[in-house]
Amino acid sequence: MYLIAGLGNPGPDYRLTRHNMGFRVLEAWAEALGVRLSGRRFQSMSARVVLHGRSLLLLCPMTFMNRSGEAVQACAHYYRLEEENILIVHDDLDLPLGRVRIAGGGGTGGHKGVASVARHLGTREFPRLKIGIGRPEGGQSVESYVLSPFSREERDLVDQVTQLGVRSCESFVLHGLDSAMNEVNGLNLIQTKEERS
């Protein structure tokens, strides 16, 4: 069984913010699979689904970002999951919007949701799908930036990135971590000026 957990903050005030890219990818995948994220089990919205013979649990913790690990750990413990079968989907400041990256472990990058997951699982060696959101410009604070919505000009690219996130999750489940990394880590949805001309 696989646990795919998207990180974000619950409630309408946060729904369209940069910090909620994890939720956005999980919601899009659930819609594509014809299931609905619902309930309160594990302090989360969740859905069970079978994809090509593989059992999945899609999970969006409702604990707020800083306590995401509580929900992930409760679910992982209940189903006795190994960390290699847990994929955490989250926003990443160190990647530009238009890039995603799958990693098999590593540091938290200052992401409080990822840090919470690491703390509660007792390891940093769990796969994660990082969805690039870029860094703030013009002196805007990181906190203000991640909790703000995408601009109108960014929305088409955000939709494309969301679909790439779904594709990345599917590749991880169906083909494994290494294959998924090879498939998606080199992709860039942002065309350079030279490529467009």
Catalytic residues: 19
Contact (CB, 8 A) for 154 and 20: no
- Helix or strand holding residue 123 (H, E): none
Tell which residue, 89, 92, 77, has the closest CA to residue 165: 89
Residue-level length of the chain: 197
| Number of neighbours of residue 13 by Cβ within 10 angstroms | 9
One-letter-per-residue 3-state SS of 141-169: CHHHHHCCECCHHHHHHHHHHHHHHHHHH
Q: Taking CA 40 as the corner, what is the angle to CA 36 and CA 43, rounded to the nearest 5 degrees?
A: 120
Cross-strand partners of 3 = 57, 86
> How many whole angstroms separate alpha carbon 42 and alpha carbon 59?
9
Residue type, 107: G
Phi, psi of 63 (to 5 degrees): -90, 0
